Amino acid sequence: MSRAKKRAGNPAFTARPVAAAAVPDQAAPSTLTTVQDVPVERPVRVDTSVFDEQTWQRAQEIIARYPRSRSALLPMLHLVQSVQGHVSQAGIAFCAQQLEITTAEVSAVVTFYTMYKRQPSGEHLVSVCTNTLCAALGGDEIYARLRKWLGVGHEETAGQPGSKGSITLEHAECLAACDLAPVLQVNYEFYDNQTPESAVELVDALRRGDRPAPTRGAPLTDWRSTELQLAGFFGEPQQLRDAVDAPSAAPETLAGNQLAQDNGWQAPAMPDQAPPLPTVPEKK
Ligand code: FES
């Protein structure tokens, strides 16, 4: 019998005491899991049936990559986002159940990393870098223009989340492409050397259903598909995997390295022993 059928055949849920309800028995999975970070006297039952048989299988594949199951939490959360477009209470319960950790532990990670969204996201996630260098070169202006153009603020969605052409906007810290500033990303793919005008053109194209090619890197897809890739699933054809793995550094980024090669420069060898640290004047 498939796991989905086993779950369907196990409708009865008993709210066990919180301490004992940490992880439902893996051999008899239930679609209902007690969320532990709520008062003991009011356990909440969470329906995880949104995660289908294929998602359960993928979860097991992720877990098998690691010596300890709890190490699989980060890709597991990307898997959850590929299904729901955010990490819901059901997603938190699903991860806790699969990894045999508490929902509080899962929640702590979800709320720490900005890549995990707590509200349903749009078909596309547009991240505008507003860190120092990008901001000074126009990133703040780009973000302000997009806010006005889309009529949304940080982590808000223009259009119905998940529907075609919907866009979630966010400002982001340094996206590690300062030499190509100001930059923005769509579903974590780079669009370099942007202007407010080019950014507006880009989001308009996304809203029309177009997928303009990123400046470098893999072809643009939608945010949920990107989340599946981040969980480590690429499907067929192999070209997508190859495109994601291919080098994507821009010539500007490699300019220093090229200059060194052209001139035969090399970094001095590392000493066997680190030189002593300079003495620090004593505070009086
Ligand atoms: S400041 Fe924008 S990429 Fe570094």
Distance between CA atoms of residues 184 and 177, nearest Å: 9
Q: What angle do CA 149, 151, 153 make, to 5 degrees?
A: 110
* pLDDT tens, residue by residue, 109-145: 999 999 999 999 999 999 999 999 999 999 999 999 9
Query: Is 137 found in the same domain as 96?
Result: no
Looking at the fold, whether 147 and 89 belong to one and the same domain comes out as no
Cβ count near 262 (within 10 Å): 8
Residue 34: per-residue pLDDT: 52
Asked whether 185 lines ligand 1 (CB < 6 A), one says no
> Based on the domain organization, do 56 and 130 belong to the same domain?
no
Give strand ranges (E) for the chain: 32-35, 44-47, 124-129, 156-158, 167-172, 184-186, 189-191
**pLDDT for res 242:** 86
pLDDT value at residue 149: 98
The reply to whether 10 falls in a domain is: no
97 Cα–ligand 1 center, Å: 38
Looking at the domain assignment, is residue 246 inside a domain?
no
Give Dmax over CA atoms of the chain in angstroms: 75
Q: Are residues 130 and 80 in the same domain?
A: no
State the total domains in the chain.
Answer: 2
Mean pLDDT value across residues 251-258: 92
Q: Is the peptide bond before 39 cis (omega within 30 degrees of 0)?
A: no
Q: Per the structure block, which two tokens stand in for 193?
A: 């050397």
Whether the CB of 178 sits within 6 Å of ligand 1: yes
Ligand 1 contacts CB of residue 186 (under 6 A): no
Going by C-beta distance under 8 Å and a sequence separation of 6 or more, which residues neighbour residue 256?
A: none
**Distance, CA 174 to ligand 1 centroid (Å)?**
4
Residue 19 lies in a domain: yes
Which residues span the domain enclosing 62? 15-112
**Cα-to-centroid distance, 250 and ligand 1 (Å):** 14
C-alpha 224 – ligand 1 centre gap (Å): 24
Residues 131 and 195 in one domain: yes
**Cβ(64)–Cβ(99) below 8 Å:** no
Q: Is 183 in the pocket of ligand 1 (CB under 6 A)?
A: yes
For residue 45, give the nearest of 76, 67, 14, 75 by alpha carbon.
14
Q: Considering the domain boundaries, does residue 66 fall inside one? A: yes
List, in sequence order, the alpha helices (H) in 37-178: 53-64, 73-84, 89-99, 103-112, 132-134, 140-150
pTM for this prediction: 0.79
Domain boundary among 83, 112, 141: 112
Domain end (from 169, 192, 222): 222
Indicate whether 272 pLDDT > 50: yes
- pLDDT of the residue at 263: 97
The last residue of a domain, from among 112, 139, 159 = 112
Does any domain span residue 264? no
Q: Are residues 131 and 106 in the same domain?
A: no
CB 202 near ligand 1, within 6 Å: no
For residue 189, what is the domain's CATH number?
3.40.30.10
The reply to whether 239 falls in a domain is: no
Please work out whether the CB of residue 131 comes within 6 Å of at least one atom of ligand 1: yes
Task: Band the pLDDT of 240: cuts 50, 70, 90.
Answer: confident
